[in-house]
Structure 1
Amino acid sequence: MAGDMHAEPTSVPAEARERHARLAEQVEEHRVRYYAEADPVISDAEFDTLLRSLEALEDEYPELRTPDSPTQKVAVEYETDLAKVEHRERMLSLDNVFDDAGLALWASRVAKDVGSSDYHFLCELKVDGLAVNLTYEDGRLTRAATRGTGRTGEDITPNVMTIAEIPHRLKGDHVPRLVEIRGEVYFPMEAFEGLNARRVEAGEKPYANPRNSAAGSLRQKDPKVTATLPLHMVVHGIGALEGFEGLGRLSEAYSLLNSWGLPTTRYAKVVDDLDEVREFIAHYGENRHSVEHEIDGVVVKLDEIPLQGRLGSTARAPRWAIAWKYAPEEVNTKLVNIRVGVGRTGRVTPYAQVEPVTVAGSEVEFATLHNQDVVKAKGVLIGDTVVLRKAGDVIPEILGPVASLRDGTEREFVMPAECPECGTALKPMKEGDVDLRCPNGRSCPAQLRERVSYLAGRECLEIDHFGDVAAAALTRPLAPTAPPLVDEGDLFDLTIEQLLPIKAYVLDQASGLPKRDPETGEEKIVTVFANQKGEPKKNALAMLDKIAEAKSRPLARFINGLSIRHVGPVAAEALAREFRSIDRIEQATEVELAAVDGVGGIIATSLKEWFAEDWHREIIRKWRAAGVRMEDEGAGEDEGPRPLEGLTVVVTGTLEHHTRDGAKEELQSRGAKVTGSVSKKTSFVVVGDNPGSKYEKAMQLKVPVLNEEGFSVLLGQGPEAAAEVALPVEE
């Protein structure tokens, strides 16, 4: 929060004045790049750091906090081809907090200034879009403008008129003589990703992020172009208001705006105290990617409008509202190199090695670049400053370069012609494929290592203590030890005697390259399964026990673990549900395979090609000889329809008595199809704690929702009994 502008003057050292001038100039420059040019060269997090540094300096030397300081202005003035228009009431920005201490300090100031405990907080998501002001006169939309400096903005009326959900005339008879509606125009994430995928496919440069795309779309001169883009808006406030009285709470105002036909947020909640604010922040911190638009935080507002007036505002922000900013998911860093990695199906993929940087709460050194065509379409060069994004658990991705920072030393990436691990010539699997692959599926050490690692992982057999180091050690130990795994068929025959002598490099998980000692620079080597006395490590013995347990995993887990191209968890579950044994899948015709819901022609062809290889069939023979169960219960029996046959079920949230995967397997073993998205075709949605947007969509579509007790009824008594105990639909 800004300090007191009328504090006593202090003697400001020359060094502090110089630093203040330098910081102020940087903040102004980056605001122009962000707001006017939609071409930022630093990340939002870096900008926030600059602004906080400036505010801290002004807190230390209040004399520096003049009306011309960037901390006292919403934005900077800049030249534009669009007409300037003046807002009737100033559009403010928001002050930010980044931790609980900052939030608590703001809340304590509110409590002190309000002087009462009789108030509420309104929590809503902070949409990362373009701030827009809509002016309605006698119910008719007469102007749309950007926020601009807060006092004047750019006239974007023709472009905003093309956004379908923004009404040209307000609904109802009881509308004000004049009202300014504030909100954010945004590009939905799914639509943005689809648009970028199409641009890359067409050889065009992808857009950097949804916010800049929305801003550029509204500032270009041809409304016909804007009309082709999937822009949306969410409104979150009122500016000037004439000819209308009686608004007591902001949450009530939102209901009024909605009744006028304006698009209000579905993610707002009135709470009683700061602990409930914290719960709202924590919930969407964990579920921020379940929302259709980009968010970078939560806005917390005092709900009572008269109390908002009592608290007032600083030169740039209201005192009655604050923005909690989540850890940034986009940062800028240096692209050190572009390497290639080999996946479990032979696909050779470029990936970026960047200067280590913290993003979304973790340090990142590697990021995906998908394929050589994407590298070219994105226009990234080795040595560029690049925009890196890490969203939740998604693999970090390079979005594009900051081209304006190039100095001429950057160089293009050249895709290698040979596999970096086995030297086999790379080629597309068939004509027209974008991806290059290593065709040496049986002997390529990289492919075997990745297949074994995937087979032991969470999506397949869930073998604890079997990580990347173990996968590398078992497939390519240091000489003179021979690899215990010639292929994944040997997994269930491992003995402790085979494991004890193995030494291997410690590999970096992202790059597959040996890690080096930071002091000596030497590659790290470990005795993987034995301690210093040559005795088995506890983890090694536990790993063998878990491998033995994995023999009885459901069939779908093994099908998925075979790393057949195009066959992932969903197709594996469909195949297991239909055929119930690996033998029946192998014996099925291509037409029979393609007819399975969730399989289709491409996967059917891939399955037949996989089973045609002798060494693939040998993997299954080895597993069967080792006692692996290669069929589900009831295989080969004519037992008729299973009790949940034909149902489609979604499981969301945290269940107390079932893991997510365990719940899925219970459903699938009874014939149900388990999917990840809710639609009108969904039969039931099973919800645990913190179910997120899937629960909300189920209520919206009136799909029956079961809590864990109802889930037990579904499993034990069937769908009719479960329907009787479904949760009531929220109106």
Structure 2
Amino acid sequence: MSLEIQAKIEALTKELNEYNYQYYVLAESLISDFDFDQKLKELEALETQFPAYRDPNSPTLKVGGSISQGFQTVKHRWPMMSLGNTYNEQELKDFDHRVQKAIGQPVQYVVELKFDGLSISIQYLDGKLQQAVTRGDGIQGDDVTNNVKTIRSIPHQLKKGNYPDNFEIRGEIFMHKPAFLRLNNERLENAEQTYANPRNFASGTIKLQDSSEVAKRPLDCFLYFLYAEQRNKLFETHWQSIEAVKSWGFPVCEHSKVCQSIDEVVDFIHHWDTARHKLSYEIDGIVIKVNDFSQQEELGFTAKSPRWAISYKFKAEQAETQLKSISYQVGRTGAVTPVANLAPVLLAGTTVKRASLHNANEIARLDLHVGDFVFVEKGGEIIPKIIAANNLKRLANAAAFEYPTQCPECGHTLVREEGEAAHYCPNETGCKPQIVGKLQHFIGRKMMDIQGLGDETIEALYKNNLVSKISDLYYLNERLEALGNLERFGQKSIDNILNGIEQSKEKPFEKVLFSLGIRHIGETVAKKLAQHFKTIDAIKSASAADILAVQDIGIRIAESVHAYLHVPAHWEEIEKLKNVGLQFEIVEKEQVLEGENLLGKTFLISGVFTAYSREELTQLIESHGGKMISSISSKLNFLVAGDKMGPSKLAKAEKLQVPIISEQELLMMINP
């Protein structure tokens, strides 16, 4: 039974991580918001019950997606966290009950429309737009300042006002529906691929490298949250801050409201569930935030979302259409994904022609037959999903769809491992999508980050027989004449490619290990393996049981790593990469602390402080050896209390006899 649970957790983790990559990096959605959220909740429940099987790269621990090639990476001063969400009113009332219980006093909520666009954080210094950064993975994002400056509704310079010298404002970039339809029609006329919805169009636009092209597309933006040092001294509530932001000249949605109770919140939701169709832009729900900033501080955060906010998502719309055929796509790992090709049907304002079917189990569950009429829905009004076949309209003698036994790309016999939902093509050296996909993965920004190389360049190099495996990239300097003969490969481009390849040799071992594309090996797992074993040779010498003994490594990961490194062709490739200078050993760096006065002690910060921000206090504690924890328990050594600290935390600390110290007392501990 435990092996089945572990396999289920690993399968869900892999599936959801792939959906995240498609959504945040490729601006594509292969699954509805509702279905994604249900799968995520299922995974969270399993991980809670069986924590030993949680993958350190689990999507339940992630905030957003990833960062993109071609842009400078910027770390967020305040992490861009995601919101918890619900689709039913009872869970909303449960949220209200938790908030009321934690605060112990009346709570106001601010309700806002949940825009279906691209999250952005914009920094202003002395009233001037300084930098604009995408959500990215929540910790760091892409610097898209020049592109954001083309959005007319976003001010470059504020008029004189009472705003802070340095602040960040966050919001959503989107495209109005009429503009989306017009631009998509232009793409059709030019025989270009159309976008599925305005959100994808906005996301794809903001990631363009040429700002002059971005300026041609009519993006818009609403801003809805302010961050600044000592913000609580400027405003007591979120509503006050938003009213001020509006007065400074920022575009703020007019449809927000302060509610005195959860019943008022529900009434607001009911109104916009219908009225949203009259808006010129897409929304997929309502965001509910605790209004009082001190109460927000009291409630705090989980690992990935604030406890003082939640989003309510609207139910999906449905339509009926005919299933024309099923096609099959092969990914870089060899996984084969079925896609339903539909008779075009209008759904939630866009024309739907395709829907993801995920795997053979889904096709069997739906009992799909050739020519079936099917019900399609858009969860979160983004990507369509087949929810059922209309058996009353099934054609006489219609044959059931049979999953292919051969790879649609190379013809190799497909395999399906025990416990896996997907079918795989094992022909990794002769199947084009796998070869190209592995090369594209290797050069990616979070992997080897090879400047000068992109997905299209890899396609061109493969097409012209210049690369067919990773090591071939490091011998391109011997193929200069062939490179020069390729279309759009000028001397400058070639020099950039070769320089980028040479610089990649400095990437640390964990990046190289991640870049190899071993199944189930994400960025975090690669780092843990590198730190534990130190060298690739040590990992190869280890048994699957030895690998399994590494913290947070599951049996599926251990078996995958062990099997990969014992395939002769894989090890031969690694030896070639060693010979050209890639790092296959970890270089240890000694951690330097400013002091050790707090070494071994745990701290929790609550309230508003005078000399330092909460972020600065956290840095001080950690730089002197202390450790931050997120809740009051017997493991807590000190509670650092500021003004407006919630009564519930104070009471719990006193009950557990946790020492309560002031900001000044903490500073005295650091510098006695």
- TM-score, length-scaled by structure 1: 0.45
Greater relative CO, 1 or 2 (CA 8 Å, sep 6+): 2
Q: Which structure's CA Rg is the greater one?
A: 1
